[in-house]
Structure 1
Amino acid sequence: MSEDYQVKVKICGITGVDMALAAVEAGADALGFVFAPSRRRVQPETARAIIAQLPPFVARVGVFVNSPPGEIEQIARHCGLTAVQLSGDEPPGYALDLALPIIRSLRVGNGKPVPDLNGFKDDAFLFDTYCDKSYGGTGKTFDWSLLENIACPKPVILAGGLNPFNVREAVRTVRPYAVDVSGGVETNGQKDAQKIKEFITLAKGV
């Protein structure tokens, strides 16, 4: 990334329109809607209703874990998603009949190295913290030095335990295209508008 590049911010796990609009007002570039088993899971009809109220230049990312391609395609079209994030064990070249960017989530750290990225044809790579019992949302960071000199052919999105206290260091270390946060901007399991605003301000201020 160039020295004057301003990192993008994705607020993931959006479940209500008020918090979606608060995130947009705070400067979020993308919102994530989780369609996989999670306490932040949202039903397609709810996501569609939220997305219908968003301004046009905010990305709407659907997060899926090992869902059949047909199901992903149906939800993406129904809800008006602008990108799809694959966060499960989907193989390289997972075929989706969608003219949308595909974000590949890869879990690293805790002894799991960064895989060879050449076999993947996705449009961006999201790096999250490896946990053998979870596909994401652990709230834990990994060793960011794993990504410092990575030869990644596509944009890098950093996730995993980010919050207002560590996001500046994370951006300086990894220099990602974007950062992704969910639990780090919550209070008592609910999105916190003040924490979202603080996180975005700090991330984009690096």
Structure 2
Amino acid sequence: MSRTRVKICGITRAEDAAAAISAGADALGFVFFAKSPRALTAAQAALIIASLPPFVTKVGLFVNANADYVREVLAICSLDLLQFHGDETPLYCESFAKPYMKALRMREDIDLTAQLAAYSSASAVLLDSYKAGVPGGTGEVFDWERIPSDLSLPLVLAGGLRPNNAGAAIAACQPYALDVSGGVESAPGIKCADAITRFIEAVSAADRRED
């Protein structure tokens, strides 16, 4: 059976990390962007990461961060993957000697082919909803039909995902992974264990149908 991976983003508490892993999450996201309601410090993230079992991918999310700040976080936190949500250049993304994922917001005039070519060194591309002035976490779904079927990088789908539309997202896009944050929360930065479980169950059910 093909399996869609799941990343639970915006983790701020050890108990939420534990709930996500218990439910079957493949990756956890930690937001290092001060303007986000899900932001945490490198020291806070390091404490959570230290409590994690093996084989869980730890992802650090940054938005137009100073390169020295990224290196400072990397010195404190054991991150496996960097996720860049701003206007970072390919050269910048490559400069940390870590696998990275580039988030692209699906604005009307985006040239996906050109963007994917520019960031060909990325491990994956994350496609998210576009909202002016908001780098991510909009809670809004974009038109999945705009995604070409022949993307040159693995697709991580984000934007307005929740337990009741995860299956439809998989049926429409066959993504490598789904990235969810607000759709499994009881409040910004506070995850709901039941919603996480229902989300991952919906993903598993959709994978079975796709097979």
Partners of 1:142 and 1:95 in 2: CA distance = 25
Question: Counterpart of 2:91 in 1: which secondary structure?
Answer: coil
Counterpart code for 1:138: T
Aligned to 1:33: 30
Q: Is the 8 A contact 1:112 1:130 kept in 2?
A: no
Aligned to 2:209: none
**CA drift at 1:72:** 1.0
Aligned to 1:170: 169
Q: Evaluate the alpha carbon distance shift between residue 131 and residue 25 of structure 1 in structure 2; reply closer, same or farther with a 3 A threshold.
A: same
**CA drift at 1:95:** 4.7
Unaligned runs of 5+ in 1: none
TM-score normalized with structure 2 length: 0.91
Q: Is the 8 A contact 1:73 1:96 kept in 2?
A: no
**CA drift at 1:154:** 1.6
Q: Could you say what the CA RMSD is over the residues aligned between the two structures, in angstroms?
A: 1.3
Aligned sequence identity (%): 42
Q: Evaluate the alpha carbon distance shift between residue 139 and residue 95 of structure 1 in structure 2; reply closer, same or farther with a 3 A threshold.
A: closer
**CA drift at 1:19:** 0.6
1:108-151 superposed Cα distances (whole Å, 9 cap, x missing partner) = 04x243422111121110000011120000000000011142x3
Aligned to 2:97: 99
The equivalent position to 1:71 in structure 2, one of 46, 64, 69, is 69
Partners of 1:114 and 1:202 in 2: CA distance = 31
Unaligned runs of 5+ in 2: 207-211
Structure 1 window deviating more from structure 2 (35-44 vs 86-95): it is 86-95
Counterpart code for 1:176: P
Are residues 1:118 and 2:123 paired?
Answer: no
Q: Is the 8 A contact 2:84 2:93 kept in 1?
A: no
Partners of 2:202 and 2:48 in 1: CA distance = 26
Counterpart code for 2:104: L
**Equivalences, count:** 201
Question: Counterpart of 1:15 in 2: which secondary structure?
Answer: coil
Partners of 1:188 and 1:16 in 2: CA distance = 13
Partners of 2:187 and 2:72 in 1: CA distance = 33
Aligned to 2:181: 182
Q: Is the 8 A contact 2:20 2:196 kept in 1?
A: yes
Question: Counterpart of 1:94 in 2: which secondary structure?
Answer: helix
Which structure's residues are more often helix, by fraction?
2
Partners of 2:111 and 2:182 in 1: CA distance = 23
**CA drift at 1:96:** 4.3
TM-score normalized with structure 1 length: 0.93
Aligned to 1:204: 204
Aligned to 1:108: 106
Aligned to 2:132: 132
Are residues 1:11 and 2:3 paired?
Answer: no
Structure 1 window deviating more from structure 2 (32-41 vs 115-124): it is 115-124
Counterpart code for 2:31: V
